[in-house]
Amino acid sequence: MTINCKGKLIDLSTPKVMGILNTTPDSFFENSRTQNETELLRKAEIMLRQGATFIDIGGYSSRPDANDVSETEELQRVIPAIEVLIKHFPEILISVDTFRSKVAAEAIESGAAIINDIAAGNLDDKMMHVIAQYQVPYIMMHMRGTPKTMKQLTDYEDLVTDITFYFSEKIKQARALEINDLILDPGFGFAKTIDQNFELLKKSDLFTPFDLPLLIGISRKTMIHKTLDIQPTEALNGTSILNTLALTKGASILRVHDVKEAMECIKLVAHFNK
């Protein structure tokens, strides 16, 4: 359970935390947005100090019904952020949240260590070739359609079976291109109803036979705040509860807005499992 990030082996047998920093003006959780260099550096420093192993940078909001962003604008949002973070934190491991191969390539050239693709190559058929060329770890998420259409694509014969088949096909495609480091993300909130999200969390351990790291991204999402009838700003406690459950189901990486609390979940679950 190790991945190679810029020549550094990261052992995921002990779960790690990925902090979310968005360079978008419309991400669903307002506190994850960074609008200038000072704010970006301040938030990154806090996350790193609190224990984040990875920082995930996104320049395209993939929330339901989000506005489309051109490739040029996404690059203008993401690349300067990578460059300034690496300048101030040379050892930082940056993940870039993009489904576009050109953004992925330029991000890696600028110093990104991981590509986090919500579409697993389905929205850009050149994406896996870029990953193979640069040999960076590749997070493959399950989603149907696009952020604009996914809410209408929630009919499954069997949710977990269908997602398992999806991952098996994606893994086969990646291995054929000799991509070494793969991470699976079941895609909570993407083409799934609230009930389906809870079913997916309950059965996340069924993906462990792939013998690949599992990333869980449920931080402050709809499945929490709509179930509790609260706002995303009030969903930290719910996030911690579900992250704890995710850890018991085999999560290797928690992708979160709140690093300190996620680290506490990991430490407490580890102590519980002694």
Which active-site residues does the annotation give? 221, 255
Q: Are 139 and 58 in contact (CB under 8 A)?
A: no
Going 75 to 81 to 84 to 89, the CA torsion angle's sign is negative
